[in-house]
Amino acid sequence: MPRKFIVGGNWKCNGTLDSIKALAESFGPGGDLGDGVDVFCAPPTIYCAYAKSLVRPDFHIALQNCWIGKGGAFTGETSADMIKDMGLHYVILGHSERRHLPQIKESDETISAKCKYALEHGLTVIYCIGELLEERESGRTKEVNETQLSALAAKISPADWENIVIAYEPVWAIGTGKVATPAQAQEACKQIREWIAGNVSVDVAEATRIQYGGSVSSGNCEELAAMPDIDGFLVGGASLKPDFLKIVDSYKAAK
């Protein structure tokens, strides 16, 4: 069965009441996506309910993070249970900013534990992996991605992969204007799929959707979408512009 394309917009720590309203209006009323693509937007947590009330109904709303377990005395955190209670279905975990910003520095262990709990509570997890510039330059892209995949696989069952989307985001390409060439992105995504085939199962590998993220734009999305192991995009800055619709529409170029 062909893998359904999936495009997500990570709004990061951006937005106001006015800008979110304007962006939602620019996306239009919806209803014209068809069955070829899933779409989600991930606003800052404080704006999620507001965004859900405004964004077209065929765009899902996602959280950018969640807590490692159930709620309780964890100031500032949001649990997977709460996300489900709000009628939301997606959460982004392991984003490079949460892995590498010195104020956060989440470990593979923490991220994979979050994934396990989120999956147990019915969420679809966008699991982000990717290498730093120095890791790519030293030929360690495959090693870094496989280490991060191994941490996840150690925590979840083969059946859980049905609700995992891998987002491959080379850290050096996020927000920099640099983008991996289609060949580089395809090579990394193919290696990810091969790792899943060898360490989980061939069937899981064939079914798992792999997004590319890193300075995706309306100008490069169609060429990237045509790569056989790229099943969508996790979009940063471009998701805050009306051009996001052009990126969503690139599913038509997918093989």
State how far the alpha carbon of 210 is from the alpha carbons of 3, 53, 73, 166, 229, in Å: 9, 29, 35, 5, 7
Please tell me the pTM assigned to this model. Answer: 0.97
> How big, in percent rounded to 5, are the helix, strand and coil portions of the chain?
45, 15, 40
User: Looking at 97, 106, 135, 169, which residue is catalytic?
Assistant: 169
Closest CA to 63 of 112, 119, 124: 124
**pLDDT score for 47:** 98
**pLDDT score for 87:** 97
**pLDDT score for 171:** 93
**pLDDT score for 91:** 98
Compute the distance between CA of residue 161 and CA of residue 181 in angstroms, rounded to an integer. Answer: 28
Per DSSP, 236 falls in state: S
Amino acid present at 195:
W
Residue found by looking up tokens 């580089």 in the block: 184
Sign of the CA dihedral 104, 109, 115, 117?
negative
User: Looking at 95, 97, 131, 146, which residue is catalytic?
Assistant: 95
**pLDDT score for 176:** 83
**pLDDT score for 31:** 77
Q: Give per-10-residue mean pLDDT for the chain (255 aa).
A: 94 98 95 90 98 97 98 98 98 97 98 98 98 94 98 98 98 85 96 98 98 94 97 97 96 89
Compute the distance between CA of residue 170 and CA of residue 56 in angstroms, rounded to an integer. Answer: 30
Q: Where does 111-169 show beta strands of DSSP type E?
A: 124-129, 164-168
Compute the distance between CA of residue 152 and CA of residue 94 in angstroms, rounded to an integer. Answer: 10
Compute the distance between CA of residue 106 and CA of residue 99 in angstroms, rounded to an integer. Answer: 5
The yes-or-no answer on residue 223 being catalytic is: no
The yes-or-no answer on residue 100 being catalytic is: no
